[in-house]
Amino acid sequence: MSELSHLDESGGVRMVDVGAKAVSRRRAVARATVTMDSATAARLGSLPKGDALVTAQLAGIMAAKRTAELIPLCHPLALSTVDVRLEVAVASVEIEASAETTAQTGVEMEALVAATVAALTVYDMAKAVDKGMTITAVRLVSKTKTVMA
């Protein structure tokens, strides 16, 4: 059997069977950074397309809820909560997304998708005024699992 959980014995892709796993409380946190000119960072709340921060927060939440539609082998999850926070610095925006569920599998992909889509939304909202933005450091920063009693 392959060490990669999404491959079967013949090397084909498969969705992992989590049916025998215990239900547990799961939480994951992901981050992404969007770098930009300092003038752009100062105007993120009032760009030609509108408030990039509010729009990105909503986009990240919506994206987390649709992760299984975007990533082919992810299990659809009933999310308990999704939180997306954006912190503006001098020449960047740091995005932190968390997702929680009570299920048989984790929520890392949901947190990563939320952070990534929030970053893409900031980029989309500001691209008319800043052609040099970059999205960097998309990463999972923590995941926890609490076994249910």
The residues annotated with a catalytic role in the active site are: 124
Angle at 79 between CA 22 and CA 57, to 5 degrees: 145
Q: How far apart are CA 13 and CA 81, in angstroms?
A: 30
What amino acid is encoded at 7 in this protein?
L
CB 99 within 8 A of CB 82: yes
Q: Are the C-beta atoms of residues 114 and 61 closer than 8 Å to each other?
A: yes
Contact 11, 2 (CB under 8 A): yes
Q: How far apart are CA 140 and CA 28, in angstroms?
A: 8
